[in-house]
Chains A and B, each alone.
Chain A
Amino acid sequence: MAMAVRWELTASALERLLARLDVDPARAADAYEALRLSLTRFFDWRGAHFPDECADETLNRLARRLDEGAAVGDIRSFALGIARLVRLEQARSPQVRQDALDEEWIGPAPPIDHDPEPHLHECLERCLAALPADARTLILEYYQDQRRQKIDRRVRLATELGLSANALRSRAQRLRDRLERCVRACASGRAADTKRRTAHFRRGDAAGDRPRTAGLRQTDDAP
């Protein structure tokens, strides 16, 4: 039986990709990050379960195609084409379907003794504590108050920091993204044991030990 060999990103393939993004190495690195961010957002807004992994998979395939000498016109459009394919594959992935089933099974109405966010606040505290003091102050100030008072506070905060409203928003978004990643990692780590035990009881087997991964496979059908 033939087995598909997973292609690994090589240094030369990455260099080729960077060179296509910009001739200047520093600007190329920035362009790579910008492209990765836009792809992550694409997967995120399209409801992918693991946007970061999908974006990395897309960039790997893009690098591979360039390394193989494929004729690529606009590199960002080409990357988006690969991303759409990755998204379709991910949606068809048996793993993703199983995750959706798990979610449905667990159900939107938790039992009376089940805390829907058992680790959220604890993890948030830990992640906030890990931020530099000025960043922590900024994000908490940013999220203080509601409605009109919140808008006024943000205007005041931007003035104090010498930032435009957009720059303040971007900074707050970056901090929140960082917190999100940290909280998610913290909460999933803390929930893992509990979830495994719960899954074991519900299914009557050891399926709870199955790792939650997107289950993406390297294929040759990239555009």
Chain B
Amino acid sequence: MPLDVVTPEIRRYLLGDLDEAGAAALEDRYVADPALLEEVRAAEDALIEAFLDERLRPDERVRFEAHYLASPIHRDRVAIARALRQRAAAPQSPAGRAGSLYGWMALAAAVVLASLWIVARGGPPSQQAVGPQATRPGAESRVPRPALAPPVASSPAPGPSLTPLPAPSSGPSAARAVLALTLSPITTRGGEQATQVRPAGPVDLVLRLEGTPTASDRVYDARLQTVDGRVMWRGRGRAAAAGSGLLTTVRVPADTLPADDYVVVIATPMRDERGRYVLRLRSR
């Protein structure tokens, strides 16, 4: 049911904006009338979808968050609807999930390898640089423009996970190596797997995550999770500047992470997911 078809009375009832007498009258009617009950249920779905699509009016969004989402059951419902959307966007069977994921990983790894550069700490760059370990035919089509400069120094407002990188010429004073990678969101599948090798020693990964921030977004919560959903790291990044081609940039302490396959999930503080990226990490 489109949201604009929902009657104002039902809409206000679900948002807790109907007076008690009005609410009781509506309840009397829907308990006696299965068709009306269905209508209210459909209206609830329309509200949830409008919330997830960010189509609610500001006043309705406030009421939705304050009233509807006050119920744990409703929060679960919205979370499940959101998860179903995410799952539907990646419609693979659990059995086929790993294989498909490796396909995404291959694409992402190709992107990683193509846009990789290193800002070295002490020692010659050749000791810090991470070279391509595998490539996949056809990956070029997903390779973004090459990264030409340290990404975070020009980031609009670094957050906790956005410590500005030293410039490439900043010399050996920095204690940690910094590896900057550009990742494309998971949108397509296919291809073979490829491997990303992490250098030995303390190293931060600066992940430049491609995408377009929604205008109202200011900050994003980032989490790095394994394929089976274990969250290994959390951080926060500011929304990238409009037109930059990036959603956000986050800095991850790679040496604290075991070699594994990871999914980087970016969401607003209200848990509206904005993008997923694949990072496959291997030790040298």
Contact = CB atoms under 8 A, between A and B. Distances in A.
B81 interface: yes
Contact of A173 (B41, B55, B87): B41
Interface residues of A, number: 53
A80 B40 contact: no
B207 interface: no
Contacts, number: 121
Contact of A51 (B34, B73, B79, B225): B73
A167 B278 CA distance: 38
Given A76-B32, A125-B94, A169-B1, 16 more contacts: A41-B30, A41-B40, A41-B41, A45-B40, A76-B31, A80-B28, A118-B229, A120-B79, A120-B83, A124-B80, A124-B83, A124-B87, A129-B94, A143-B88, A144-B88, A146-B85
A4 interface: no
Contacts of B77: 180
Contact of A121 (B44, B76, B83, B234): B83
Nearest to B89: A144
Contacts of A97: none
B70 interface: yes
13 contacts: A34-B34, A38-B34, A41-B40, A47-B71, A47-B74, A48-B73, A76-B32, A77-B28, A128-B94, A139-B84, A140-B88, A173-B42, A179-B80
A134 interface: no
Interface stretch (A59-67, A109-117, A193-201): A109-117
B47 to A, nearest CB: 11
B30 A128 contact: no
Interface string A130-146: 00000000011111101
Given A77-B28, A129-B94, A143 B71 contact: no
Contacts of B88: 140-144
Interface in A172-206: 173, 176, 179-180, 183-184
B27 interface: yes
A209 to B, nearest CB: 20
B271 interface: yes
B229 to A, nearest CB: 5
Contacts of B234: 112-113, 115
B223 A47 contact: no
A180 B87 contact: no
Interface of B (DSSP majority class): helix
Contacts of A16: none
Contacts of A140: 84, 87-88, 91
A37 B37 contact: yes
B255 interface: no
B228 interface: yes
A116 B83 contact: no
Interface in B221-237: 223, 225, 228-229, 231, 234-235
A212 to B, nearest CB: 10
A140 B89 CA distance: 8
B104 to A, nearest CB: 16
Contact of B27 (A80, A117, A146): A80
Contacts of B91: 140, 144
A184 B71 CA distance: 14
B34 A170 contact: no
B126 to A, nearest CB: 36
B243 interface: no
A183 B34 contact: no
B31 A38 contact: yes
B131 to A, nearest CB: 33
Contacts of B45: 169, 173
